[in-house]
Amino acid sequence: MAPQSRLLPPAMPPRPLTLVVLLCGFLALALDVVALVSPVWVISDHFALSLWETCSRHRDAWHCRSALHTDWQVASLVLVFSAALISGLWFVVTVLWISHVKQPLRFRNLSLLLLVAVLLQVSLLFTLLVLTSRFLTRSLQFTWGYGLGWGSCIFMVGGAVLSCLRTETTQE
């Protein structure tokens, strides 16, 4: 037996729950990235809002300007970008752990990263919901970009909850 083989634990294939958690993390990251680049999150008859632009309609023509000139819109972009960055970091660390260490990962500590990302993103999504429904007209519609933001939160929560489940089998 080589000395190196005594130091390394035996190789174990990833458990099915581990793969489901990875899938949740990947889907959360993918939905977050698509939500970040989506052209519109909220639209009404005379107004459209995304993370990057604010558009208003004057005399049947849309006029758009950068959304990065107001503090709350910059903060919104930072919240969603931070959530995407944290979920991306979580995904990379998890994949590296599974591919190199080959032991069942104790996800409980890493799931805190996903919960922080969820808190960041939900704070934006809920605030945007309250602000836009209060100040815009009755014809307000949330578009697919906003829905993808919520979908990303759902997959992040799912990944965090599944990663906290105990899957170890005990030997009698």
CA pair distance 152, 84, nearest whole angstrom = 9
Evaluate whether residue 100 is within a structural domain.
yes
Range of the domain at 91: 14-163
The pLDDT, as a whole number, for residue 28 is: 92
Q: Hey, how many other C-beta atoms are within 10 angstroms of the C-beta on 148?
A: 19
| CATH value at residue 33 | 1.20.140.150
Q: How many domains would you assign to the chain?
A: 1
Global confidence as pTM = 0.79
The pLDDT, as a whole number, for residue 34 is: 92
Evaluate whether residue 145 is within a structural domain.
yes
Average per-residue pLDDT for the chain: 79
Q: 161-170 long-range CB contacts below 8 Å, 24 or more apart?
A: 161/111, 162/17, 162/20, 162/21, 162/24, 162/107, 163/21, 163/107, 163/108, 163/110, 163/111, 163/114, 164/107, 164/108, 164/111, 165/17, 167/15, 167/17, 167/104, 168/104
Evaluate whether residue 50 is within a structural domain.
yes
Evaluate whether residue 93 is within a structural domain.
yes
